[in-house]
């Protein structure tokens, strides 16, 4: 349905046809496949870095015509994150074709693959945990969305009275606390179970994550540590390895780590201290340039945010935070009856906030579903690779 996926279909087809024609894996062809793979990686990330101008909008579009190129396509927007998931799935499918299709199983069990493959599988397990944590984090974002909706509903009341503003302000304050809360505060919640009622008495029943005992992933689990561990033995292949299968393995691992890193930075996630440091992406490689570009952009943002504490870099959350601050300001200066000018400018902001909520409503759950799909894809691929390895084990060392 998306262009990238059409691409992938024909790519797979070509590989399988070719491999079927030549029972022996022809190195020249393999070389060609590898180059194509790198090109696709480069193309996809370039598109993510600077999306092409959207096609001419059909005149009968139901959305309002304010701001023709909305922030939806911007890096870290929820739409963009969904695209990133698609990109990951495409890359992964292509990679698996290169790794497994028509290949003699014993080939990937010999050195250096006896080291590289297990390392890669190990990374994929860590990626699974990150997926789980992120799905959970998106639930927190949905909670922010609902707080924002409360504020929007209150500020849309006409005539706008002190009561409405009071209510909106409370919801906004809770929203802002939730958005700026640091991971650690979230997880410990000091005194655990009493968290609920104490928050209520402070005036907001439901600040951010009121989880009494745990995050989604096990105790002591840390997203930053997992990302770090995933990169620990990740190094570009050297010498004659650089021309063969180790290269796409390295590329795919890098893409995986990168995607997980982005997700972790985007939404609330368990333990992220030092996240910005953990992604050594090789800058000089062609396929990696756009990826590095995206990484730098997000990394800079992260460093800024890390200082003041942030629940995540998702574009909608960032804008929500800005709007939240300025609406709180409006609320602080509000006296009934509302001054016309202030009310109008607030109304515009409320409308923007409502628009963000609407987009979150539309896209967050599908994003969750996509991440679950990524989870299942990783599980499936891992199983397939293990199966091939088992086969290889039988072939090379027949059972006594």
Q: How far is the CB of 245 from other proteins (least distance, A)?
A: 24
Q: Where are the alpha helices (DSSP H) in the chain?
A: 3-21, 27-49, 78-100, 113-155, 162-180, 183-188, 195-201, 223-232, 246-266, 289-308, 315-332, 340-396
Residue 275: DSSP 8-state: G
Of residues 44 and 126, the one with the C-beta less far from other proteins: 126
Q: Which is nearer to other proteins, 22 or 336 (CB)?
A: 336
Between 67 and 125, whose beta carbon lies closer to other proteins?
A: 125
Give CA separation, 331 vs 60, 151, 201, 292, 392, in Å.
37, 11, 21, 42, 68
Question: What is the smallest separation between the CB atom of 124 and other proteins, expressed in angstroms?
Answer: 9
**3-state SS, residue 221:** coil
The tokens for 62 are 């139901």
Closest CB to other proteins among 1 and 399? 399
CB of 76 within 8 A of CB of 357? no
> Could you tell me the end-to-end alpha-carbon distance of the chain, in angstroms, rounded to an integer?
50
Minimum CB separation of residue 24 from other proteins in Å reads 31
The least CB distance from residue 86 to other proteins, in Å, is 19
110 versus 376: smaller Cβ distance to other proteins: 376
- What one-character DSSP code corresponds to residue 313? -
Smallest separation, CB 187 to other proteins (Å): 12
Distance CA 20, CA 8 (A): 18
Residue 139: partners with Cβ closer than 8 Å, 6 or more residues away? 368
- Least Å distance, CB 47 to other proteins, is 29
**Nearer Cβ to other proteins (96/146):** 146
Structure tokens at 220: 């002591």
Please work out, in degrees rounded to the nearest 5, the angle formed at the alpha carbon of residue 264 by the alpha carbons of 178 and 303: 75
Closest distance to other proteins from the beta carbon of 166 (Å): 5
Nearer to other proteins, 8 or 256 (CB): 256
Residue ranges binding other proteins (CB under 8 A):
125-126, 128-129, 132, 135-136, 139, 143, 146-147, 149-150, 153, 159, 161-164, 166-167, 170, 193, 195-197, 200-201, 203, 205-206, 210-219, 221, 226, 336-337, 365, 368-369, 372, 375-376, 379, 382, 386, 399-400
Judged by CB, which is closer to other proteins: 216, or 343?
216
Cβ at position 88, least distance to other proteins in Å: 18
Q: How far is the CB of 345 from other proteins (least distance, A)?
A: 21
Please give the Cα distance from 334 to 328 (Å, whole number). Answer: 10
Please work out, in degrees rounded to the nearest 5, the angle formed at the alpha carbon of residue 305 by the alpha carbons of 301 and 313: 65
Q: Between 75 and 147, name the residue whose CB sits nearer to other proteins.
A: 147
Q: How many CA atoms lie within 13 A of 98 on its CB side?
A: 28
**DSSP SS3 for 157:** coil
Q: Count of CB atoms within 10 A of residue 378's CB?
A: 20
């Amino acid at each position: 349905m998306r262009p990238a996926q059409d691409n992938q279909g024909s790519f797979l087809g070509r590989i399988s046809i070719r491999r079927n024609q030549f029972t022996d894996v022809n190195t020249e062809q393999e070389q060609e496949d590898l180059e194509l793979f790198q090109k696709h990686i480069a193309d996809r990330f370039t598109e993510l870095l600077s999306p092409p101008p959207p096609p001419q909008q059909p005149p009968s579009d139901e959305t309002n015509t304010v701001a023709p190129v909305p922030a939806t396509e911007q890096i870290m927007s929820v739409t963009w994150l969904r695209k990133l998931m698609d990109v990951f799935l495409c890359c992964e499918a292509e990679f698996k074709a290169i790794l497994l299709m028509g290949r003699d199983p014993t080939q990937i069990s010999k050195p250096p693959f006896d080291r590289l493959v297990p390392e890669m599988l190990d990374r994929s397990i860590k990626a699974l945990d990150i997926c789980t944590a992120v799905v959970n984090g998106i639930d927190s974002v949905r909670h922010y969305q609902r707080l924002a909706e409360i504020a929007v509903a209150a500020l849309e009341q006409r005539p706008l009275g002190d009561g409405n503003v009071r209510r909106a302000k409370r919801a906004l304050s809770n929203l802002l606390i939730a958005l700026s809360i640091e991971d650690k505060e979230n997880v410990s919640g000091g005194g655990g179970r009493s968290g609920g009622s104490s928050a209520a008495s402070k005036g907001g029943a439901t600040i951010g994550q009121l989880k009494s005992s745990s995050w989604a992933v096990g105790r002591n689990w840390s997203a930053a540590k997992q990302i770090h561990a995933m990169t620990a033995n990740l190094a570009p292949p050297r010498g004659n390895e650089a021309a063969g299968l180790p290269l796409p393995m390295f590329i795919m691992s890098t893409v995986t780590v990168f995607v997980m890193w982005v997700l972790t930075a985007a939404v609330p996630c368990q333990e992220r201290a030092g996240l910005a440091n953990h992604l050594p992406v090789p800058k000089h490689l062609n396929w990696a340039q756009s990826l590095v570009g995206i990484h730098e952009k997000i990394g800079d943002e992260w460093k800024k945010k890390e200082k003041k504490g942030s629940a995540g870099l998702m574009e909608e959350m960032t804008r929500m935070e800005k709007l939240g601050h300025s609406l709180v300001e409006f609320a602080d200066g509000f006296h009934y009856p509302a001054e016309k000018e202030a009310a109008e400018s607030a109304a515009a902001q409320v409308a923007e906030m409502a628009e963000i909520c609407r987009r979150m409503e539309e896209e967050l759950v599908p994003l969750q579903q996509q991440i679950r799909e990524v989870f299942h894809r990783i599980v499936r691929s891992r199983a397939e690779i293990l199966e091939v390895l088992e086969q290889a084990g039988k072939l090379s060392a027949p059972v006594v």
